[in-house]
Amino acid sequence: DTGVSQDPRHKITKRGQNVTFRCDPISEHNRLYWYRQTLGQGPEFLTYFQNEAQLEKSRLLSDRFSAERPKGSFSTLEIQRTEQGDSAMYLCASSLRLVGTDTQYFGPGTRLTVL
């Protein structure tokens, strides 16, 4: 399977703990996006990378959130001191940015539950 993969698929944690999620994009895709999806809503943009550079962060991404893409391939999203409001599905998408096209392909997501 050469699609976007995410790990873990599910994470249950206690409030105040730190969690880290991983996303592996489609090979050679130069853009990687993180979105958050709460129950009954559409995905909301969090941040994106072009290669290893983080180019934009949403105001939804508080100081407790940090994302990296150190070698321009996989990415990690860390949430420190988790809160119950962080419970959501965290989706990763990747795309190959060429002139006039940027179709985003999504992974299966990581469902986070904060108790």
Partner 1 sequence: GENVEQHPSTLSVQEGDSAVIKCTYSDSASNYFPWYKQELGKGPQLIIDIRSNVGEKKDQRIAVTLNKTAKHFSLHITETQPEDSAVYFCAASEDFGNEKLTFGTGTRLTIIP
Binding positions for partner 1, rule: CB under 8 A? 4, 6, 31, 33, 35, 40-45, 48, 55-56, 91, 95, 97, 100, 102-109
Tell me the closest approach of the beta carbon of residue 58 to partner 1, in angstroms: 8
Helix ranges, the chain (H): none
Nearer to partner 1, 37 or 80 (CB): 37
Separation between Cα atoms, residue 98 and residue 91, nearest integer Å: 22
Tell me the closest approach of the beta carbon of residue 2 to partner 1, in angstroms: 15
Separation between Cα atoms, residue 31 and residue 33, nearest integer Å: 7
Nearer to partner 1, 82 or 104 (CB): 104
